Structure 1
Amino acid sequence: MKRRIAIFVLLVVCTGMLAGCWSKKELTDLAFIIAVGLDKTKDGKYLASFQVVNPGNVAGATQRGGGAAGVPVSIYASTGDSLVEASRKASQKLSRLPYYAHTNLVVIGEEVAREGLDGVFDALERNNQFRTTARLVIAHGHSAQDVLTVLTPVDKISANQIIKTLEFSEMAWGQTMNVDVWQVIRDLSSPGRNPVVTGVKIEGNPTRGKRQTNVQSSVPDARVSLDGLALFKNGRLVKWVNGPTARGVVWVLDRIKQTNVTIPWNGKQEAIGFRTVRAKTDVEAEFKGGRPSISVHIGAEGDISEVLTMVHLNDPAVLLRLEKELDRHIENEVKQAIVSAQRVRTDVFGFGDAVHRAAPRLWKKIQNEWHDRYFPELDVTVTADIYIRRTGLRNKPYMEK
């Protein structure tokens, strides 16, 4: 009798565990949203753009050689007073249920970024489908909708191309950053740090970039490329930085993986190239007379990547002089980035977090005035220690004086 009861209870438990189809959704009923763009309309409402995958065309592009297939993505746009309202209104145009589990890119229009990101991410973070690991970029010079409508020739889904470009650019160039939504939310909620987000721009004709002919040419009419770093303060975009200044920001944030630094030599500009292979930045808070100061130390090693002047790389004294010149060059890049941030009174480096870790009681007193009073006058000491590990396969350049 007890055995029969036990078997019956086991069957009941198993039946309850197997009944998991109550919330099923057919794949043919879902619209897979790969990217979301957010702009502002003339009347102040949000314009949300949704990049939806056309599954048959993406699969067909692989089988038929890319350009012969149909358009791999479609853009649906709707307006609303909030992102949720705009998303719900998009259902009037979509024949499928919007599905955000595969959304891996969020593009914010520059106008929205300058007005402020307050409340923009609340709906995304609350949505149980959306993943905060989605990458975030700021549209620079064009709307977020224009960025999402450009068709790309190599990666059929343009959102994937932007994401891969972010990853490889940070890895190889060091003037951009691969930032996700969660990191920006964390920076927005931190009193000692402001967000830094990479910008994207359209090169060429955006109107022609929407057509399928854009992917059928070896020279597309429009391309999407990365364009500098956007510095934020109180959730608002306040400044764009590019080139060495942008790389200085990345140096301080300890996000340099590889980059190429060129220095002058023998009176010739950009004469010698240095490629970093390893880099580490340490930021420490110090206190002088009760006021905080910051020490930034950069350590890196790498190889000589290019020589365009006469120099004997087999001479240890010459290598030592090169290392000192690299030290000065990188220190100047970092100092320039710090001065640029101090001018707009935004601590994007996390110096406030360093002060908080070193002196929690002092930080509690000054955190409300940190960005506007203490950070602009902050004394920052920058030191670099660069080591040349290898000089390549040639010690003596073939160029003669």
Structure 2
Amino acid sequence: MKRAFALFISLTAYVCLLAGCWSQRELTDLAFVIAIGLDKTEEGEYLASLQVVNPGNVAGAMPSGGGAGGVPVSIYTSTGDSVSEASRKATEKVSRLLYYAHTNLVVVSEELAREGLDEVFDVMERHHQFRTTAKLVIARGHSAKEVLSVLTPIDKISARQIIQMLKFSELAWGETSNIDIWRTVRDIAVSQRNPVMTGVAIEGDPRKGKRQENVQSSVPDARIKLDGLALFKNDRLVRWVDGPTARGMMWVLERIQHTNLTVPWEGKKEAIGYRTTRSKTKVKAKIKNGRPSISIHIIAEGELSESRIPINLADTSLLFRLEKELERSAKEDVTKAIKAAQREKTDVFGFGAAVHRAAPRLWKKIEKEWHDRYFPELDVTVTTDMHIRRTRMWDKPY
């Protein structure tokens, strides 16, 4: 009897310890929000555009991007005095409960970015479902809603295509930044660095890009493309930079993995192509007479990717001259980037952090005036070491 009673008590205790599904949600009750677009209306309200997956169309979709029964995503919009209000009002148009745990992309309009993003980041950090690992881009020349509405031909979901473009463009080209919300908030929260974000634009007609026919043609009527870097001062967009200037910023930020440089040779522009395979950037601060200065040293290795003129690449003295020309080109890009940031009085490079490490006491004195007074007048020295490790298959172009 005692044995049976002890067994009963044990089983009862185990039952009490078992976890229950008190917060369960059926999949058929959830609307998975993959991306969020944020704009401002003429009345000053937030316009939230939610890209929601159409599960049936994605599951049975063809490689072209369309599904058996229609497009893979739907866009739901709503307005509100705050981002939270706008997103909750969207439930009036959706037959399921909005679920943000899989939101991987946030697109912010240029207009909203110039006004400031403090309120946007606040609600995203507080939301219990939202992940701050979501990627962040700025819609350039178009609204965030238009960007999310374009159907893409390779990836079924356009948000995923943008995320993949950010990843591989930074890896292969070096003029864009693959940044998430957590890193952006961290840069805004500290006084030693300001954030940099990648721009997204639309090539073609945005109205035609919404239609399924856009992914049924070898030449889509509208394409999404990455377009330059947005420089921020605190939480406000202040300037766009493109091309070599954007690449110069990535050099300083040590975000260059692979990129291409072209240099003139014997009177011919862009005669020699060079592809980096690895690089490293060292940023150091020096203090002299109470004034900080910065030294930047860039070391890169790579290979010749193209020669448009007949030269003998087996000649080591010629390769040495080519390295010097590549160093001059990289230094020019970095100098342009630094001057662009100094004109806008925004330290996007983290030079303030270098000064803080070198002289903590001095930093406490100049911290509040760093961006507006000290950074624009900062003396920056740039040195580069570019090494040609390989010339690929040919030493002498045919």
Please say whether Structure 1 and Structure 2 have the same fold, judged by a TM-score greater than 0.5.
Answer: yes
Structure 2 match to 1:352: 352
Does the alignment pair 1:215 with 2:215? yes
The 3 A distance-change label for structure 1 pair 82 and 266 is same
Structure 1 match to 2:81: 81
**TM-score under structure 1 length normalisation:** 0.96
Q: Distance in 2 between matches of 1:296 and 1:141?
A: 34
Q: Distance in 2 between matches of 1:318 and 1:3?
A: 92
The 3 A distance-change label for structure 1 pair 107 and 266 is same
| 3-state secondary structure, aligned to 1:396 | coil
Structure 1 match to 2:203: 203
Does the alignment pair 1:61 with 2:61? yes
Structure 1 match to 2:259: 259
The 3 A distance-change label for structure 1 pair 328 and 18 is same
Q: Distance in 1 between matches of 2:59 and 2:352?
A: 49
- After superposition, where does 1:325-344 map in structure 2 within 5 Å? 325-344=325-344
Q: Distance in 1 between matches of 2:282 and 2:8?
A: 64
Structure 1 match to 2:276: 276
Deviations 1:95-145 (A, max 9, x none): 000000100000000000000111211111111111111000000000000
How far has the Cα of 1:353 moved from its partner? 0.9
| 3-state secondary structure, aligned to 2:120 | coil
How far has the Cα of 1:272 moved from its partner? 0.4
- After superposition, where does 1:232-247 map in structure 2 within 5 Å? 232-247=232-247
- What code does the residue aligned with 1:396 have? K
Structure 1 match to 2:145: 145
How far has the Cα of 1:370 moved from its partner? 0.3
Q: Is the 8 A contact 2:64 2:215 kept in 1?
A: no
- What code does the residue aligned with 2:33 have? I
Q: Distance in 2 between matches of 1:225 and 1:20?
A: 47
Q: Is the 8 A contact 1:67 1:216 kept in 2?
A: no
Q: How many residues align?
A: 398
Q: Distance in 2 between matches of 1:291 and 1:3?
A: 82
Structure 2 match to 1:114: 114
How far has the Cα of 1:11 moved from its partner? 2.8
The 3 A distance-change label for structure 1 pair 155 and 64 is closer
The root-mean-square deviation of aligned C-alpha atoms, in Å, is 1.5
How far has the Cα of 1:16 moved from its partner? 3.0
- What code does the residue aligned with 1:189 have? A
Deviations 1:373-401 (A, max 9, x none): 00000000111111111001000112xxx
**TM-score under structure 2 length normalisation:** 0.97
The 3 A distance-change label for structure 1 pair 16 and 121 is farther
| 3-state secondary structure, aligned to 2:282 | strand
Q: Distance in 1 between matches of 2:121 and 2:7?
A: 50
Which 10-residue stretch deviates more, 190-199 or 61-70? 61-70
| 3-state secondary structure, aligned to 2:119 | coil
Q: Is the 8 A contact 1:277 1:302 kept in 2?
A: yes
Structure 2 match to 1:297: 297
Q: Distance in 2 between matches of 1:192 and 1:371?
A: 9
Q: Distance in 2 between matches of 1:65 and 1:52?
A: 15
Q: Is the 8 A contact 1:67 1:215 kept in 2?
A: no
Q: Distance in 2 between matches of 1:220 and 1:73?
A: 18
Structure 1 match to 2:373: 373
The 3 A distance-change label for structure 1 pair 365 and 61 is same
Structure 1 match to 2:363: 363
Deviations 1:218-271 (A, max 9, x none): 110000000000000021000000000000000000000100000111111100
Which 10-residue stretch deviates more, 209-218 or 10-19? 10-19
Q: Is the 8 A contact 1:61 1:67 kept in 2?
A: yes
Q: Which runs of 5+ in 2 are unaligned?
A: none
Does the alignment pair 1:288 with 2:288? yes
Structure 2 match to 1:126: 126
- What code does the residue aligned with 1:303 have? E
- What code does the residue aligned with 1:29 have? D
| 3-state secondary structure, aligned to 1:120 | helix
How far has the Cα of 1:213 moved from its partner? 0.6
Structure 2 match to 1:228: 228
Deviations 1:163-203 (A, max 9, x none): 00010100000000101010100011010100000000000
